[in-house]
Amino acid sequence: MEKIREKWAVSLRFLKEARTELKKVTWPTPKQALASTSVVIVVVLVVSLYLGIVDLILTRLVRVVLG
C-alpha cells in the first residue's frame, strides 16, 4: 500500500512540475504556426521531388549498365 502512495505522490509531483514548465513556454501564434507548417510542407515536396528524380535517373542507369 505504501508503494502505491509513493508512486501516486511522485506522479502528482511530476504533473505539477510539468504544468509549471508549460506555463513558461512561448507558444506560437496561429499565423506563425501556419507559416512554419507551410515551410515544412514546401521543403518536403521539394526534397521528395528531387529524390524521385535522382531515383528515376539511377534506376535507368542501372538498367542500362546491367542490360
**How many helices, marked H, and strands, marked E, lie in the chain?**
2, 0
pLDDT digits (tens, 9 = 90+) for 37-63: 999 999 999 999 999 999 999 999 999
CA distance 30 to 36: 10
pLDDT digits (tens, 9 = 90+) for 20-41: 999 999 999 999 999 999 999 9
Model's pTM, two decimal places? 0.64
